Structure 1
């Protein structure tokens, strides 16, 4: 919990470290804070979720994307010329990154239509094209391949008695690990492009934020996640959800192909990667939720996922 004492201490630390004059700090999540300063609005990430080397490589990557013209949050260098700083907050050693606030808003759910998703596809295509350039110049040493991240240890968290889902999870993992990879279909990507990590301004300009879960994966995964997110969280009726799924999937793919190659054999695997995202979300429930104190809503959600996964029901109809 972030209390007033921590807030006062964090403001003092930030004002000593960075060329800003922070006035207030407000918690957004457990590790992201909105900072109001005389000069501008900033967001500061305070976490030890990943190592210093991992965070430094991540921020070097995102600042490269920004320099190349992609709409991402810019990390501000400290007075020590560091983009990642080590601090002590509440007697804990933490790492901090200060970002200039990105323009735009979280778009209301009913406005996530095909036009917006097509523009998102273009933006993701640009992201992957520039990511390839980054990897050619800066070989990645500390950011993991997707399957090395703890969140993909499905069999560690999905209970042993759930034999059907465990088999499906294992099949999904082994199938994707067995796909041939090369520089045209695999590389550094965002990894968590659900719609809350995208800001939209009045001119339909999109900004991608929160690259903390960036990883090396098949590029198609960065398309699977927003498609999954739009269908799962943003469809609010006013039509047929199957038609909506087809429409936004077509739009995001068309936008992507305007900016980056999407091999036909990988496009055929889109439903597989949406299934990876589903099993990922289900495993996270077991990873983070208290099994002894599940709410009725959590039980409902878990049962919904169980039925969908066990029945091999795809949320998109290609």
Structure 2
């Protein structure tokens, strides 16, 4: 969490937010603080999630649009969470911090299951199939979603594209590379079968696996984007996680994962047009965006060995204009 946000997130705010959603304050358990403050809390013995989003990260309107989107998915059969109303009957509660900024508080269901790692996916490709199937359902439901009250951002409104604001002396080479990628993406077909409201970050850390089912959370990055981008993200992060442990039989794993994932996806939604050509573009874009995130979040004077390796791996790939994954495009054609 950025220092300016951490400095104004107080125990008093935490307690107030907890009580607004009927939580038992002594049961609060911190789960995360990378982009937002996430807590688990008990309400009459039931575990729920409590989230605090700072106004510098998301506006009330963007959070409202996220809540509406997730509620739509929940009501239409997707394995996502339902939201709870506060003591004031609200889905989102604003709490003012000492400096006049605001934390927006919401509460939602704690989903069943556990997080998985690449080794489990490699041993059990049914997980990749279910993962793809769940994403396919989200993308299909996006085609019939039409909320005229509030909107999530369009793909090109992503502030992390402006890497210069986090690294003012970033090289011209990287800026040109970013611009090349954005230009190529802007020419992709944009219609109801290729483009819509997507999750944007469905890596293996943003779902729980339970009895063969994928339960999805963290819609904080949801935006209007190409469905191919949603498909690229799981591939990007599962391969990255595996690479930190081993690169043996790497291509075999990539082939098996893509095949199973897309087979599952295609049971719920048609594969987007020009998918084989667009996945590499979105993998490259994720590298640029992730590099921007790391410049924004990391204190480079205090990096441990893992974080330094993480940063150097992403930075080197961007410098070389390489893609994290290469794959046989015939895999996609065969699934079609």
TM-score (norm 1): 0.88
Distance 2:12 2:158 in 1: 34
SS at match of 1:129: helix
Q: Residue 20 and residue 28 in structure 1: after superposition, are their counterparts in 2 closer, same or farther (change >3 A)?
A: closer
What residue in structure 1 maps to residue 108 of structure 2? 99
Choose which of 45, 48, 64 in structure 1 pairs with 2:72: 64
Q: Alignment partner for residue 14 of structure 2, among 7, 10, 14? A: 10
In the other structure, the counterpart of 1:40 is 46
2:172 corresponds to: 163
Q: Which moved more, 1:179-188 or 1:151-160?
A: 151-160
Which region of structure 1 is more displaced relative to structure 2, 302-311 or 191-200? 302-311
SS in 1 for 2:212: coil
Alpha-carbon distance in 1 for matches of 2:247, 2:159? 39
Residues 252-296 of structure 1: CA deviation (Å, up to 9, x unaligned)? 112111111123413321111111111211122222223455555
In structure 2, the CA distance between the partners of 1:155 and 1:178, relative to structure 1 (3 Å rule), is: farther
- The verdict on how the C-alpha distance between 1:154 and 1:182 changes in structure 2, with shifts beyond 3 A counting, is farther
Name the structure 2 match of 1:152.
Answer: 161
Match of 1:27 in 2: 30
| Mapped contact 1:124–1:256 kept (Cα < 8 A) | yes
Contact 1:11 / 1:23 at 8 angstroms: preserved in 2?
A: no
1:185 positional shift: 0.6
Deviation string 1:210-264 (CA, Å, 9 cap, x unpaired) is 1111111101111111101100014644950111111111211121111111234
| Alpha-carbon separation, structure 1, partners of 2:68 and 2:114 | 25
Give the aligned CA root-mean-square deviation in angstroms.
2.6
TM-score by length of 2: 0.84
Secondary structure, aligned partner of 1:71:
coil
**CA displacement at 1:100 relative to structure 2:** 1.3
Count of paired positions? 313
Contact 2:227 2:272 in 1 (8 A): no
Please state if 1:273 is matched with 2:282.
yes
Shift of 1:110: 1.2
Where do residues 118-157 of structure 1 align in structure 2 (5 Å cutoff)?
A: 118-135=129-146, 138-139=147-148, 141-157=150-166
Q: Please, which runs of 5 or more residues in structure 2 have no aligned partner?
A: 329-336
Gaps of at least 5 residues in structure 1 are none
Deviation at 1:179, TM superposition (A): 1.9
Hey, what's the Cα distance between the residues in 2 that align with 1:191 and 1:287? 19
Match of 2:84 in 1: 76
Residue 222, structure 1, aligned to residue 230, structure 2: yes
Structure 1 position 8, deviation (Å): 6.3
Q: Deviations over 1:12-48 (max 9, x none)?
A: 5433x33555542122222111112323001111112
The whole-number CA distance in structure 1 between the counterparts of 2:16 and 2:161 is: 38
Distance in 2 between residues matched to 1:161 and 1:93, nearest whole Å: 32
